[in-house]
Structure 1
Amino acid sequence: MLTSNGNVNRDASAMDTSKQLTANDVNYLKSQGYKIIGRYLTGSVGDGAAERNKYLTRTELHDIISAGISVVPIYQDGGGVLGYFSESQGIKDANLAGQAARALGIPSGATIYFAADLDVEDGNIDATIIPYIKAVANQLSGYEVGIYGTRNVCSRAYEAGAVTSAFVADMSTGFSGNLGFPMPKVWSFDQFVEFTLGGIPIDNLGVSGRDKGIKKINSSITAKQALRKVIGSADITLDGPKVTIVNSKVLTVVANATSHVNTASGSHVVEINNGHIDSVSLINVLKSMGLNISGTVMDVIISKVGLKLSGEIADGQLRINKVLDGGQNVEFELVITSLKNDVLDTEFGINFDVSFHTKELKGEIKETLAKALAVAGGVAVVGIALALVATFAPEFLPALGIAI
């Protein structure tokens, strides 16, 4: 009888494993002819005393790449039950996978495979897997999205426009999603047999050649070097004095950079993930601190600005520290924990003092906000400045191209 995994004795040049590989392991696998290794970005396997870490380390990644073997990143940190898969979980997983990939130095453009390692009947896919993987695709920045699962799950995810590649779980021969379904059009890897070799748990993979894995990793840079990359032309130095970076009759922005930061949580902290500011959280924080902006006005502002960080910043926090003078002065800190194209050795922060001068010449607003966009954290500065405009001078929003 034909099964989805085919001839399990065929040769394979690709594999995946949950084991954290030593340099000796890597050399042994190379001697066995493996050219591609799939590894997990996060998590652990096993229970109780048998539990062990499965996440890829930077040392391990360096050893694999140095041996001339490519790496395929996989994200699976849960998902054993159907109820796991939802839009909110997809956003969370995209953030965690992106953060882990950037910390390892996995370059932009690599495909990360998100696992649906269970049998999902066809009638349940639309309400679970599809919203999950679409949320991953919408949230993940800088990386291509792939999916691991049955033939049917992979095909359905591709047809929904959410993935560019498929990692097919053909080894699960009894899963309904592998019975009678053809291989996905965009399959990259075909998992067909598991065994142990040299003490290493291995899943052998067939390859289509669609995804060759990553063959290089991003370099590591210091916070001082990273600051130079993200601030543009602004004359700001790490742990240096405050510098005025925007100074007009309408808006004044003073900033300084510091290495003395710690990520925090609380009602005035807005997370930055995959280059995105959580706009809903920002709205709630500003309102809680006295900026009583109507939901309609703020929704238009958020839509107009986009609140998506451009340039080098990938992950961090936006901390609203103070709102003074009824909201005309706002102090906030942009904490940068990871970059899009380099591995940051330690986080750092940029402090901003933003003042909006409502009694001055308001005709300069548009030009001033354009200048603010050119500085590090400029989108955050403009977002807050527009919130101040909406609060104290909403009649000027149309002049900025914002209809309310």
Structure 2
Amino acid sequence: MATAPLQNTPVPFIDLVAQYEPLAEETLAAVSRLMSEQKFILGEEVELFEQEIATYCTAPEAIGCSSGTDALILALMALNIGAGDEVITTPFTFFATGSSIHRVGAKPVFVDIDPITYNIDPAKIEAAITPKTKAIMPVHIFGQCAEMDQINSIAAKHNLFVVEDAAQAIGSEYRGRRAGVLGDICCFSFFPTKNLGGAGDGGMLTTRSPELATRLKQLRVHGQTSVYYHQEVGLNARLDALQAAILRVKLKSLDDWTEARQRNAECYNELFQHYDLEEVIVVPESKSQDRHVYNQYTVRVLDDRRDDVIQNLRDQQIGAAVYYPVSLHLQPCFSYLGYKKGDMPQSEAASNEVLSLPIFAELVVSQLETVVRGIAEAIAPGSAENIDRLYSESEELPQKKVA
């Protein structure tokens, strides 16, 4: 390991250009092919991508749609969830999780999270079930699956549907099974910054039910059963063929990118130990029987030091972000639900302490160490100067795969 000090350089939170450049030729060829054919709406490109995602997730059916948000809405519509119904979910998630329930006329019912995984706490779910409850919507937050065995057991006991929000978790696994086959319907997002991101919005639903797949395909095209004949009112929520073509190129690299993210996470863990930050920084835990895909590498910053850390990283042009600063139960638009501060203590505590660090696949070890040194300097100014660099600029990350 190197001991010479290195010059700190800016570290972006994410660098999509670095991901694109090795795939530029193949991506542009795919786009050029579509432009030559002028076939932009559904068609073969979308069908092939659906088949490839179904295979990747080991799901019998996959249905492309316009975004991860629309995937959630379509899933609830396909399950006939609407006005007067309740859906149990987590308050510690992106807004679309709660808003999709509201959009179909149902009521979001929030259940607090596990403080270690940040996923919904199964032990708290049954207390929230009422005669109006129709579904549970767990979120595989940051790329780690929720405790699906317990959730599915509760759902079966109370005759409830399970809708997986896997917007951040494509390729993640729970006890050997992939996100996408752990509930009745699973919803993915291909927003550009996701592990598998498109050149704009895009989404996908997977299911084991041929009947639900047929209904979802109908709902994504205005409820149309044949041209200009509508069995019901659906959405205009198709996946563009151009997005499908780009995503097909990128899907071939997804597992390599995931393994790089996992190596980055292991490197961060090693660095936080090396810089003696474990009393203030709590690193994410990955359960040995599962596959964490690290859409985000999210730490807790204890002792009210998060603002100091963020400011120091910003001063050094090091990227970081807070996911999520306000729990959904405290969002003004959900005030009609009657929640108040203190109702979800674990979610609220996480919102005050979490910090996500750069984790994208193309990072090099010197950049990871720059991030950790920046944190060390914020917590104990001058301390990093007395600690030798663990990695040199020329060193590569260890090549072993992290489960």
* TM-score higher than 0.5: no
Higher relative contact order (CA 8 A, sep 6+): 2
Higher share in strand? 1
Structure index of larger Rg: 1
**Could you state the TM-score of these two structures normalised by the residue count of structure 1?**
0.28
